[in-house]
A and B are shown apart, each in its own frame.
Chain A
Amino acid sequence: MKSSFNAVAERLGGGLAGPILVHLVVIAIWQAAADFGDLPSYMLPSPTETLATLFEPRNRWVENATVTAIEIFGGFLLAVVIGVGIALFFSWSRLLLTLFMPLLISLNMIPKVALGPLIIVWFGYGITTNMAIAFAICFFPIVITTARGLSEIEPELLYLARVVNASKWKIFVKIQFPGALPFIFSGMKVSAVLAVAGAVVGEFIGSGRGLGYLMLQVQVNLDTATMFMSVLLITLIGVVLYGAVAFLEWVLVKRGGAA
C-alpha cells in the first residue's frame, strides 16, 4: 500500500501534473462541502454557483474588472516609473542617498492603507484615488530595493572601471544598472502583490465602480457567490500583473545564465 502510494507520488511530483491535481482536488472538496455539507449557500456557495454569477448581467463584470485592473496596473506602473526614477536620482550621489534614504524608510513605516481617507480628500472619489492608493503602497518597496541595488556595487569593481578611466555614466550603464536589475525586480514583485490590495481597499472606502465596489453592493443581499467571483477576478488580475513582471524578469535578468 505504502509503496504504491510512493510510486504515484513520485510520478506526479516532478512536472506540473502534481500541483494541478492538488488544485483540482481542493476545488472538488469545496464543491462536495457545498453540496453535501450542512451549510447555507450564503455561507459557502459552490464552485458552480460561483461560476454561474459570471452570467448575471447586473454584475457588469467587464466594466468593474476593467476599472479595477486600470487602478492596479496604473498605480503599479506609476510606482515603477517614479520609484525607479527617484532611486536613480538619490543614488547619483552618496550625500543624497545618506540624506534621503532614512526619510524614505520612515515614510515606509506609514501603513499606506491608513492614508486612504486622506487621499479621498485630496483626489475625490474614483479611479484616480484608488490608483493613488495602489501607487502609495507600491512605491516604497520599489524605491528602497532599487536604491539598495544601485548601491550594492563592489568597490573593487569600481576600481577596475576607474583604472581605465571609465566615466560615471558608463559605469552606471554597464555595471550599476544591470547589477541593480534583480533588486528592482524583487521590489516590483512585492509591489505587484501589494498593488492589488491597495486598489481594492480604495474601492472599499470610496468608489462607484470596480470589483471591490461590487463586493460591497452585493454584500447587503448576502450574494456570497458574486463576492467569491469578485475575489477570484481580483486574484486573477493580480496573477496577470505578477506574471508579466516575472516574465519581464526572465527576459531581462534570468534568461542569459545570470542570477
Chain B
Amino acid sequence: MMAKPFIHISGLSKVYNPGRADEYLALSDVSLDIEEKELVSIVGPSGCGKSTLLMIIAGLLDPSGGTMEIGGGSGTFDPHRHVGIVFQQALLLKWRTVLDNVLLPAEFLGLPKRGSRDRARDLLALVGLEGQEDKYPKQLSGGQQQRVAIARSLVHDPRLVLMDEPFGALDALTREKMNLELLRIWERSGKTILFVTHGISEAVLLGTRIAVMTSGPARMAARIDVDLPYPRTLEMKTHEDFGAYARQVYGLLGME
C-alpha cells in the first residue's frame, strides 16, 4: 500500500446558499492528491471555483461534500498553524513597517518575538528585500509589496502555502521576474505550494504538476505532470516541450 499523500482531496463539492433561489454550485467533484514539497499550479478560467477550492483547503470554508485530508506523511499538521496564504493584493498594513508586516502572522499565533524577528529578517533577505525592513509599504513598488506578502506567508514556518493569483495585479515583466523568484524561494524553503492562476504559461513554468479546472460545471478536468527540469528559466518558454504542455492545457480548457 502506498503512503498517504500530504493532501488528499476526493469528490469535493461546494454549494453556496443551498436550497435557496440563488443556490450556486461553485465546485463539483474535485479530486486531487498533492505530495509534500510539490508546487502545484491550479489553472482555470475565472469563476471555475479555484479560489473556493483554496479557501476550503485553508480551512476558511467548509465543503458541502467529499473528503479532504491534509497532513498525511511525516509530521503533524494543524490547519490553524501550518498554512500560509498570499492573495492577489499584497494587503500590507500601511501603518506598519515592512518587518512588522511580515511579523503579523507570528503575532497572531503568539510565537516568541525574538525568534520571529530573526526569521522575518532572513525571509526578507530570501525574497530580496534585505535592508528594506524599516520602510513603509507605500515606499515599495507593487512587485516589492508582493515579495513582502510572500515573506509574511512564510514567517510562521507553515507547511503549506496557498497562493491565489499572487502576481495577477503585476505588469507582465514584473510578473515573469516574480515567477523566477518564486521558484527560487520554493526550492530554498522546501514548502508545499498551491498556486492558483489563470495564466497558462505561468502555470507550466512553475508547477511540478498542473491541475486544470473548468467552469460550468466547475470541476477538475485533468492533472498534468510537468516533466521539465528545475531550475526552470524563462528561456524554457521557447522550448518545444514547454509549448506542448501549454497546448495541452489550452486543449483541456477548450481554447485550442
The interface-forming segment of A58-66, A122-130, A172-180 is: A172-180
What are 15 A-B contacts with C-beta separation under 8 Å? Answer: A154-B89, A156-B89, A157-B91, A160-B85, A160-B104, A163-B80, A164-B156, A178-B95, A181-B95, A256-B95, A256-B97, A257-B137, A258-B94, A259-B94, A259-B95
Known: A161-B108, A170-B108, A178-B95. A257 touches B136 (CB 8 A): yes
B177 on the interface (CB 8 Å rule)?
Answer: no
Known: A156-B87, A156-B89, A257-B135. A164 touches B105 (CB 8 A): yes
B138 on the interface (CB 8 Å rule)?
Answer: yes
Choice from A174, A179, A256, A259 contacting B104 with Cβ under 8 Å: A174
Which chain B residues lie closer than 8 Å to A178 at the CB level?
93, 95
A-contact bits for B57-81, CB 8 A (1 contact / 0 none): 0111000000000000000000011
A233 on the interface (CB 8 Å rule)?
Answer: no
Choice from A156, A164, A256, A258 contacting B81 with Cβ under 8 Å: A164
A159 on the interface (CB 8 Å rule)?
Answer: yes
Which chain B residues lie closer than 8 Å to A164 at the CB level?
80-81, 83, 105, 108-109, 156
Known: A160-B85, A256-B95. 8 other contacts (CB 8 A): A154-B89, A154-B91, A159-B58, A159-B87, A161-B104, A164-B109, A166-B108, A181-B95
B185 on the interface (CB 8 Å rule)?
Answer: no
Taking a contact as CB atoms under 8 Å apart, the answer to whether B136 and A258 are in contact is yes
Taking a contact as CB atoms under 8 Å apart, the answer to whether A163 and B138 are in contact is no
CB distance from A207 to the nearest CB of B (A): 42
Taking a contact as CB atoms under 8 Å apart, the answer to whether A163 and B59 are in contact is yes
Complex Cα spacing A172 to B135, Å: 24
Complex Cα spacing A156 to B60, Å: 11
The binding surface of chain A is classed by DSSP as helix
Which chain A residues lie closer than 8 Å to B85 at the CB level?
159-160, 163
Interface of B with A (CB < 8 Å)? 55, 58-60, 80-81, 83-85, 87, 89, 91, 93-95, 97, 104-105, 107-109, 135-139, 156
Complex Cα spacing A128 to B7, Å: 67
Complex Cα spacing A110 to B108, Å: 43
Known: A159-B60, A162-B60, A164-B80. A257 touches B138 (CB 8 A): yes
CB distance from B252 to the nearest CB of A (A): 29
Choice from B109, B135, B137 contacting A165 with Cβ under 8 Å: B109
Taking a contact as CB atoms under 8 Å apart, the answer to whether B138 and A165 are in contact is no
* 143-163 of chain A: CB within 8 A of chain B: 154, 156-157, 159-163
Choice from A157, A165, A175, A256 contacting B80 with Cβ under 8 Å: A165
Taking a contact as CB atoms under 8 Å apart, the answer to whether B91 and A163 are in contact is no
Q: Which residue of A lies closest to B58 (CB)?
A: A163
Taking a contact as CB atoms under 8 Å apart, the answer to whether B87 and A253 are in contact is no
The residue in A164, A253, A259 that gathers the most chain B C-beta atoms within 10 A of its C-beta is A164
Taking a contact as CB atoms under 8 Å apart, the answer to whether B93 and A179 are in contact is yes
Complex Cα spacing A178 to B93, Å: 9
CB distance from A174 to the nearest CB of B (A): 7
Taking a contact as CB atoms under 8 Å apart, the answer to whether B83 and A163 are in contact is yes
CB distance from B217 to the nearest CB of A (A): 25
Q: Which residue of A lies closest to B61 (CB)?
A: A159
Which chain A residues lie closer than 8 Å to B55 at the CB level?
159
Which chain B residues lie closer than 8 Å to A174 at the CB level?
93, 104, 107-108
Taking a contact as CB atoms under 8 Å apart, the answer to whether B91 and A170 are in contact is no
Complex Cα spacing A253 to B96, Å: 11
Which chain B residues lie closer than 8 Å to A181 at the CB level?
95
Complex Cα spacing A174 to B109, Å: 13
CB distance from B187 to the nearest CB of A (A): 24
* 173-199 of chain A: CB within 8 A of chain B: 174-175, 178-179, 181
**Nearest 9 Cβ contacts at the A-B interface:** A257-B136, A165-B80, A166-B108, A258-B95, A164-B105, A164-B108, A156-B87, A258-B94, A157-B91
